[in-house]
Amino acid sequence: MTSATTVWRDSGGRVLGGWGPLLCVLVGALVAVILPRVGVRVRVQDDCREWGGSTGLTVPFTAVDLLPYKAKPSPETEAEARAALQQAVEMRKQGKRDKAHRLLVHALNMNPDYVDALTELGTLLEEDQDVVQADHLYTKALALAPCDRRALVSRDRTLPLVDEIDRRHFGVIDGKVRQLASIPTGNSALRRVMEETYYHHVYHTVAIEGNTLTLSEIRHIIETRYAVPGKSLREQSEAIGVDAAMKYINATLLSRAGAIAVADILEIHRRVLGFADPVEGGRLRTGQVFVGRHIPPHPRDLRRHMEELALWLNSEEALQLHPVEYAALAHYKLVYVHPFVDGNGRTSRLLMNLALMQARYPPITVRTEQRAEYYGALDTANEGDVRPFIRFIAKCTEITLDTLLIATREHPVGLPGTMGGAGAHQDQACPDRHQTIPVHN
Ligand SMILES: Nc1ncnc2c1ncn2[C@@H]1O[C@H](COP(=O)(O)OP(=O)(O)OP(=O)(O)O)[C@@H](O)[C@H]1O
Ligand SMILES: [Mg+2]
């Protein structure tokens, strides 16, 4: 007879006995290798112990160890990376900078966490005046080796320069916001383009996760509430959900800067997901999820993380940040926690736009074509440097501002790509340039 605790049964009731755990470990190892490569999101059961509790980034431990796996380079690969670095140093001394650059990229492909190669590439880029990228590489090196002297000294050099560059960019954005604010609210071109940006936001925010509805189909669904033949109900519900969430934000949250509660974020999500998945809409997830290599917090810690997020959103420290930085961080913090089974990206982009609009900046759109850059910046943030993500959001903000400003000029030469060639729509009530919505009832 076998003890009950060591016996596993498959669905047919067949005894797996002692093979069960072994099989489990093998499957676990295989999944752990495959997962990060394909970027699959997997939910695992909540009935598990956790480890890493004090880090704040808690992940479950199950019999099947489903941890996303970052492959450690083999000794041969490490040796190849070292050789490439040595050659690169030699090439740089000889003034063959392109070759040195290629060798360093090769070294980092072999071993992405190679601190000396990161610092050497940083030095090369700094000499080529690419201070921002150099600073990012030094920061990455320091995240891996906080006491690395060369990286420390180098970063001390680049950090003030980069801060100044970022500050100047914010200054340019603020100038454009002021220009926009000087356009009379009743300007019909402004009302038209604001309405276009509304539909563009709905289109891109659902398309970025694979929704196949076109811009005109989305417009048709939102304006008429008639279904588009041949398109899935789920896709149409996603568009209606974002529309409902944007209207909710405009109607209730815009005027409440510094007072965003967890319940408000849940209400946004309830609308984002509620039409497609009424059970999960507005509800914190109860299982673990993975986003590429990112492991969001354990479900049992979600309430605490969300309360901390709300505290931060309403804190004086956060509200004193530049609006673009505040909005980008609000977005990043929410996707980092990934509190929902689905719809985290859409909800985070809405929270970001709420933050921008509360500061009287226009809402922005992350376009589908920017998906790789967007996800890359989020990955970099997870590695410890959130500034590229803030810069990415700053860039999106500037593109939006340029679009609005060009569209309101008397004789516009042409809009930047952001409008995607969508036809202008009839004038409709557009209450405020800082709202996302021309409200259709
Ligand atoms: N490495 C990462 N770390 C943290 N968040 C990430 C990472 N990669 C992507 N994300 C975020 O996760 C979102 C996807 O999560 P989820 O599927 O729950 O959201 P969604 O709204 O359904 O999808 P989408 O944002 O793609 O429309 C992405 O949009 C992005 O905002
Ligand atoms: Mg999704």
pLDDT of residue 413: 53
- Nearest-CA residue for ligand 1 atom 22 is 343
- Nearest-CA residue for ligand 1 atom 12 is 345
- Nearest-CA residue for ligand 1 atom 8 is 375
pLDDT of residue 209: 83
Please report which helix (H) or strand (E) contains residue 61, including its range: strand 59-61
- pTM higher than 0.85 for the full model? no
Inter-residue long-range contacts of 212-216, CB under 8 Å, 24+ positions, other chains counted: 213/239, 215/420, 215/422, 216/422
Q: Which two tokens stand for residue 425?
A: 């729509």
- Nearest-CA residue for ligand 1 atom 28 is 345
Best mutation site among 43, 205, 209, 285 for ligand 1, i.e. most ligand atoms within 8 A of its Cβ? 209
Distance from Cα 208 to the centre of ligand 2, integer Å = 9
Ligand 1 atom with least separation from CA of 346: 21
pLDDT of residue 136: 94
**What DSSP state is assigned to residue 225?**
-
Closest ligand to C-alpha of residue 366 is 1
Distance from Cα 337 to the centre of ligand 2, integer Å = 15
Ligand 1 atom with least separation from CA of 338: 18
Q: Is 15 helix (H, G, I), strand (E, B) or coil?
A: strand
| Spatial CA neighbour of 393 closest among 326, 306, 318, 314 | 326
Alpha-carbon span 372 to 378, nearest angstrom = 10
Residues with CB under 5 A from ligand 2 (ion): 209, 342
Q: Is 165 helix (H, G, I), strand (E, B) or coil?
A: helix
pLDDT mean values, one per 10 residues, the chain (441 residues)? 29 33 39 37 31 27 41 88 96 94 96 95 95 95 94 97 96 96 89 92 94 96 94 95 96 88 97 94 96 93 97 96 98 98 97 96 95 96 93 97 89 49 32 43 30
Give yes or no for residue 36 CB within 6 A of ligand 1: no
Which residues lie below 8 Å from residue 138, measured CB to CB, with a gap of 6+? 118, 119, 122, 151, 154, 155, 158
